[in-house]
Amino acid sequence: MTRILISGGGIGGLALAQALRGAGYEVAVYERDPAPEPRNQGYRIHIDPDGNAALAACLPPDVLDLVRRTSGANGDLVAAYTHRLEQVMAQTFPNTGDEAITCVDRYTFRQALLTGLQDVVRFGRTVTRYEVTGSGRVRVEFAEGGSDEGDLLVGADGVGSAVRKQLVPHATVRDLGVRCLYGRMPLTPDTDRLVPADFDRGFSWVSDDTGYGAGFAPVRFRTPPPTGVADYLMTVLVGTPERLGLGDEELFRAAPQQLWRIAVDATSTWHESVRELIAHADPGSFFPITIRASEPVAAWETGPVTLLGDAIHTMPPTGGVGANTALRDAQTLAAELSAGKPLLEAVAAYERVMLPRGFEVVEGSLRMADQMFGRAVRSQAS
Ligand SMILES: Cc1cc2nc3c(=O)[nH]c(=O)nc-3n(C[C@H](O)[C@H](O)[C@H](O)COP(=O)(O)OP(=O)(O)OC[C@H]3O[C@@H](n4cnc5c(N)ncnc54)[C@H](O)[C@@H]3O)c2cc1C
């Protein structure tokens, strides 16, 4: 039986593992995290129609149903405002009905994707390198010791991918010079009244002319998830390190409460309704992230090692398409592998689709980042 090794048990790696298991492959996922606990990678993930199609293709019906039941209530609006809360852009979307998934909580989503994979995913295993054996198989090695061998290795190990660094060492990831301070405001009967009606309808972007922007989006679970995560409003402050007043070393060492304080101060002259949302956010929920984008990479010679998701095409979260693109990669790779072609032909067919598609999506996200953050970055540079 063909044995497939997946480095990374994030969104793309787990969706692929589900699809390949369903298609009868022997799969082993190696995940660096010691356990499937929440980590600082954001709270709310927007799922688009492509992501829905990929989830429907990859997941067994019971897992898809769990993801849907524990997703957030559908929104229908993306809007932008000045810091005085004057609307400058609004785009509405038709209500897609209860079948469609439009947003998920990252931790709850990951837990649902793990359903039924307990014997497949090994936590606390960091892939450090691989070697193609004389017989054309692949052996991976782990930082914790030990190794494993399979017919194909899929690097689904995110932006810092160890597999990418070995397979395409010339690939580069660019720092866009923007930092985000992510946090969330618990939605309780007390805080519910603080959320402007339109902010409850999807994603809202507020910006001033001093180089700060802030995003807001609710997750109101359709049914309470088994993870125990309760409804919240995602709150994120965006600015350059200069505008935030902290270099990276300090920023990434700062306590969550200090980051929350920066967000409170940054928005202190904004409309009261926006200030309230940051002021009532959970100070312990804040963490910083760097906004990055992969530079396009030319196709490489196909072999028994390939890449998927952020490992090859990282993009800024603007547009909310990184996870959706990782899910599409999983769908395409699983479909090619299941089509009965020889293994390397299937991998080549996947790479022919994945590479141009992934970098086209990166380009679109960069255009949107320029629209949203450009002013923040440019006002700092001048
Ligand atoms: C704040 C934020 C908000 C976002 N919002 C959205 C959104 O709304 N919609 C959207 O579509 N996308 C969004 N994205 C992007 C999305 O999160 C990523 O594109 C997506 O997670 C990529 O999935 P992946 O499986 O490729 O990588 P990841 O989900 O990052 O998974 C990689 C996994 O590999 C593991 N790993 C890393 N190195 C190793 C190693 N050496 N060995 C073993 N395991 C390893 C990691 O621990 C991790 O679990 C957002 C990103 C951020 C940061």
The pLDDT tens digits of the residues spanning 86-144 come to: 999 999 987 777 789 999 999 999 999 999 999 999 999 999 999 999 999 999 999 99
Ligand 1 centroid, distance to 278 Cα (angstroms): 25
Label residue 373 by pLDDT band (50, 70, 90): confident
Q: Which uninterrupted H or E stretch holds 3?
A: strand 3-7
**Each residue's pLDDT tens digit, 293-304:** 999 999 999 999
Q: Does residue 195 lie within any of the structural domains? A: yes
Ligand 1 centroid, distance to 193 Cα (angstroms): 33
SS3 236: strand
Which residue has a Cα nearest atom 15 of ligand 1? 322
d(CA 328, CA 346): 16
Q: Is the CB of 12 under 6 A from ligand 1?
A: yes
98: number of Cβ within 10 Å: 12
Q: Which of 237, 265, 294 is the last residue of a domain?
A: 294
Residue 51 is predicted with a pLDDT of 97
d(CA 361, CA 48): 13
Ligand 1 centroid, distance to 175 Cα (angstroms): 16
Ligand 1 centroid, distance to 310 Cα (angstroms): 6
Same domain? 289 vs 301: no
d(CA 380, CA 221): 38
Q: Does residue 186 lie within any of the structural domains? A: yes
Q: Is the CB of 179 under 6 A from ligand 1?
A: no
Residue 372 is predicted with a pLDDT of 80
- Find the mean pLDDT for residues 182-210: 95
- Long-range CB contact pairs, 366-371, < 8 A, 24+: 366/176, 366/293, 366/315, 366/316, 368/316, 368/318, 368/319, 369/176, 369/178, 369/291, 369/293, 369/316, 369/318, 371/318
Is residue 167 over pLDDT 70?
A: yes
Number of the ligand 1 atom closest to the C-alpha atom of 162: 41
Compare 320 and 61 and report the one with higher pLDDT. 61
Phi and psi at residue 303, in whole multiples of 5°?
-150, -165
Is residue 378 over pLDDT 70?
A: no
Q: Which of 243, 266, 294 is the last residue of a domain?
A: 294
Q: Is the CB of 200 under 6 A from ligand 1?
A: no
Ligand 1 centroid, distance to 276 Cα (angstroms): 30
Same domain? 93 vs 234: yes
Is residue 204 over pLDDT 90?
A: yes
Label residue 364 by pLDDT band (50, 70, 90): very high
Q: What is the dihedral of CA 290, 296, 301, 306, to 10 degrees?
A: 30
Label residue 38 by pLDDT band (50, 70, 90): low
Q: Is the CB of 317 under 6 A from ligand 1?
A: yes
Ligand 1 centroid, distance to 377 Cα (angstroms): 25
Contacts of 137 (CB under 8 A, 6+ apart): 149, 150, 151, 304
Q: Is the CB of 155 under 6 A from ligand 1?
A: no
Q: Is the CB of 50 under 6 A from ligand 1?
A: no
Q: Is the CB of 32 under 6 A from ligand 1?
A: yes
Q: Is the CB of 13 under 6 A from ligand 1?
A: yes
Q: Is the CB of 31 under 6 A from ligand 1?
A: yes
Which residue has a Cα nearest atom 21 of ligand 1? 323
Which residue has a Cα nearest atom 9 of ligand 1? 320
Same domain? 138 vs 209: no
Same domain? 166 vs 218: no
Is residue 375 over pLDDT 60?
A: no
CA distances from 307 to 18, 66, 78, 221 (A): 17, 27, 32, 32
Same domain? 9 vs 22: yes
- Find the mean pLDDT for residues 139-162: 98
Same domain? 200 vs 281: yes
- Find the mean pLDDT for residues 52-67: 98
Residue 36 is predicted with a pLDDT of 80
**Which strands form 147-150's sheet, in the order they lie side by side?**
127-132, 138-142, 147-150
Got the DSSP string for 144-213?
TS-EEEESEEEE---TT-HHHHHHSTT--EEEEEEEEEEEEEE--HHHHTTS-GGGGGEEEEEE-SSS-E
Please write down the HEC assignment for all residues of 118-153: CCCEEECCCEEEEEECCCCCEEEEECCCCEEEECEE
Label residue 377 by pLDDT band (50, 70, 90): very low
Same domain? 118 vs 17: yes
Q: List beta partners, residue 154.
A: 6, 306
Q: Does residue 320 lie within any of the structural domains? A: yes
Supply the angle between the helices 61-69 and 106-113 in degrees, to the nearest 10.
Answer: 160
Mutation choice for ligand 1 from 18, 31, 164, 175, CB with most ligand atoms inside 8 A: 31
Same domain? 342 vs 234: no
**Each residue's pLDDT tens digit, 247-271:** 999 999 999 999 999 999 999 999 9
Q: Does residue 22 lie within any of the structural domains? A: yes
Give the number of domains in the chain.
Answer: 2
Q: Is the CB of 55 under 6 A from ligand 1?
A: no
Same domain? 82 vs 211: yes
Q: Does residue 32 lie within any of the structural domains? A: yes
Q: Is the CB of 256 under 6 A from ligand 1?
A: no
Q: Report the CATH number at residue 153.
A: 3.50.50.60
Mutation choice for ligand 1 from 16, 30, 32, CB with most ligand atoms inside 8 A: 32
Q: Which of 244, 276, 294 is the last residue of a domain?
A: 294
One-letter amino acid identity for 56?
A: A
Note down the domain range covering 25: 3-36+114-172+295-373
Is residue 42 over pLDDT 80?
A: no
Q: Does residue 380 lie within any of the structural domains? A: no
Residue 318 is predicted with a pLDDT of 87
Label residue 381 by pLDDT band (50, 70, 90): very low
- Find the mean pLDDT for residues 329-347: 97
Please report, rounded to a whole number, the percentage of residues in the chain having pLDDT higher than 90. Answer: 88
Evaluate whether 106 touches 41 at the Cβ level (below 8 Å). yes
Same domain? 257 vs 141: no
Specify the pTM. Answer: 0.96
DSSP 239: E
Same domain? 188 vs 271: yes
Dig out the tokens for 298 from the structure. 């030319």
Average pLDDT score over the chain = 94
Same domain? 198 vs 259: yes
Is residue 329 over pLDDT 80?
A: yes
